[in-house]
Each structure stands twice: as structure tokens, then as C-alpha cells.
Amino acid sequence: MATSESDKCWRECMDVAVEVACRAGKVVQEAVKHEKSVSTKSTPTDLVTEADQQVEELIISTLRDKFPSHRFIGEESSAAGEKCILTDNPSWIIDPIDGTCNFVHSFPMVAVSIGFAVKKELEFGVIYHCFDGTLYTARKGHGAFCNGVRIQVSKEKDVSKALILTEIGAKRDPATLNIFSGNIMKLLSAPTHGVRIIGSSTLALCLIATGAAEAYYQYGLHCWDIAAAAVIIREAGGIVIDTSGGPLDLMSRRVVAAGTHEMANYIVQQLQPISYERDDSDPGVQK
Ligand code: IPD
């Protein structure tokens, strides 16, 4: 496909993504008012509700109708055993409800996240905040926006002036918790202005894109938590890399994001790693 043709094509895909994310977000907004049917997945703290499954079905069936040749990676389809492999084909990477635990508690940090990749390169990302209706969007080479207004990361380089965000993944064994709290202690005693955990990786990453916080890191998130947000942060002028300091590997379940290289490199140097099974490992293997 010629560049201008693919540009037009992906723009059309993004228009559909915005429409579907808003529609799905409104379903989540309504579902939050009702009793939830909650089950667990990989660990007792890895929650799923009927709404996660219904919203994923709504998103994927709508997109598949319009783009039958595309591939789909969705959080709940993967949990149900579908392969989570990124190919060169146009691929949608979907988290129907990011912040499921927040959703269960009506804690107002819940999002629908839709990322899109072609030839394994992220092309655009759409994230809809289900409680306040904020829409974050970005397409490669075209800037990042919050409700249509251009956004920019923080240009702060000085760690002692940084607000840092993180999330804990699903593992809660003592060794993981020790490393997790050790990493937080190191960053608090740097000292930094503070460390925050809001319960939604995608919305935390959006806060890096708007410049509300300087850096984010996490072990244990999934490709559907990073895909859309990575485009939004990069288009807002930020950096999204692996916790080792190398390029982001969408399937590796770890990330450092920041407004500046200096901030990202500092975080990379502080972190003690927590290991998680890759997203593209065999289905059936506990992740
Ligand atoms: C999770 C949330 C959580 C983060 C996990 C994510 P989910 O997504 O973003 O804050 O710690 O790593 O997987 O399960 O609510 O879609």
C-alpha cells in the first residue's frame, strides 16, 4: 500500500476506533451502576466481570464487521485461551475495561483502550475514560490530543521534582511484593515529589502524556495496557521504553514511560526487575 493510501486507511480505522471506544465507554458507565458478576483469572487479584467480556465482544464484533481481514488481540479473548501473537497484519489490541478492580469498586479510574498496529508498529491509540468521558487520541506523526486539544508531556529532567506513577501487576507473592516496595522506596527516597498508584495502567500512562506526572513504570502489565497509550505518549513528545533501557517490546509486560530521556534513564537505573511470563508465550501458561 502506498504511504498516502495507508495514511487514509489508518485514519478511517481510527475514526471507527473513536466511535467504538466512546460507545463501549458508555456501556461501562452504565454497567458501573449495577451489581457486577466478578470472577478471577490468573490470581485472586486478577479480576474479570461479565461486563469486561460483553464490552470486548461489542468492540471486536463491531471492528470485525468493518475490517474482516484484520487481527484482534483482546484481554478477555486472550484469557479465554486465544493466541496473543502480534503479526505483520493490521492488528487491534483491546482492553475493554482497564481498571477492572476499580470498576468493581466504582473507583473512578476506568478506561476503554484500543490500540492499532501494522507490521508490528503502533499506528494509533484511543483511550476513553469511562467516568468523566475524557477521550485521549493519537495517530503516528499527527500529535496527541485530549478531547481534541493537543497535549504535551512534562519536560522536567530533575528527578527531585518528579511525580512518578506505577501499578502493581497481579502477582502478590512475598518476593514480588518486596521488590515492588523496594522500587517504590528507592524512588521516594531519591527524593521525588511522590509516587502514585491509581489502578489503571492506561489512564496512568495518559497522565504522563498530559504532563500531569513525569514518569511511569510497571512490571506485569499487558500489551493491551500499553498499546494505545504508547502512541499517545510518543505523540505527546514522550519516551516509552523497556525497563532495561532498550526499545519497548509490547509483549514483554514491562515498561518505562517519561517526558524526557533523563527521567526515563533515571527510572531504568533504579529498578529491580520483576519477572512475568510474556504475553506471547503459550496460551494456557499462567501469566
Ligand atoms: C490492569 C490495571 C492495573 C494494572 C494491571 C493491569 P485490567 O488492567 O491496569 O492497574 O496494575 O497490570 O493489567 O486487568 O484492569 O484490565
Q: CATH number, domain at 131?
A: 3.30.540.10
- Considering the domain architecture, whether residues 101 and 47 belong to the same structural domain is answered as yes
pLDDT digits (tens, 9 = 90+) for 115-161: 999 999 999 999 999 999 999 999 999 999 999 999 999 999 999 99
- Considering the domain architecture, whether residues 177 and 128 belong to the same structural domain is answered as no
| Helices H / strands E in the chain, number of each | 8, 14
- Considering the domain architecture, whether residues 29 and 57 belong to the same structural domain is answered as yes
Instruction: List the single range of 40-44, 119-123, 177-181, 216-220 with lowest mean pLDDT.
Output: 40-44
Assess whether pLDDT exceeds 70 at residue 284: no
Q: Which of 98, 156, 167, 214 is catalytic?
A: 98
Name the domain count of the chain.
2
Among 122, 150, 178, the domain boundary falls at 150
Distance CA 233, CA 158 (A): 19
pLDDT digits (tens, 9 = 90+) for 197-210: 999 999 999 999 99
Buried (b) or exposed (e) across 229-253, using 16+ Cβ within 10 A? bbbbbbbbbbbbbebeeeebbbbbb
Among 168, 196, 225, which is best to mutate for testing ligand 1, by the most ligand atoms less than 8 A from CB? Answer: 225
Assess whether pLDDT exceeds 90 at residue 5: no
The answer to whether residue 285 sits within a structural domain is no
Distance 89 CA to ligand 1 centre (A): 26
Is residue 277 a known part of a binding site? no
- Look up the pTM and report it: 0.96
The answer to whether residue 235 sits within a structural domain is yes
- Considering the domain architecture, whether residues 36 and 126 belong to the same structural domain is answered as yes
Give the range of the structural domain holding residue 170, as residue numbers without chain letter.
Answer: 159-270
Question: Confidence class of residue 286 from pLDDT cuts 50, 70 and 90?
Answer: very low
The answer to whether residue 54 sits within a structural domain is yes
- Considering the domain architecture, whether residues 37 and 113 belong to the same structural domain is answered as yes
Q: Which of 75, 156, 167, 214 is catalytic?
A: 75
Cβ neighbours around 9 below 10 Å, total: 15
The answer to whether residue 220 sits within a structural domain is yes
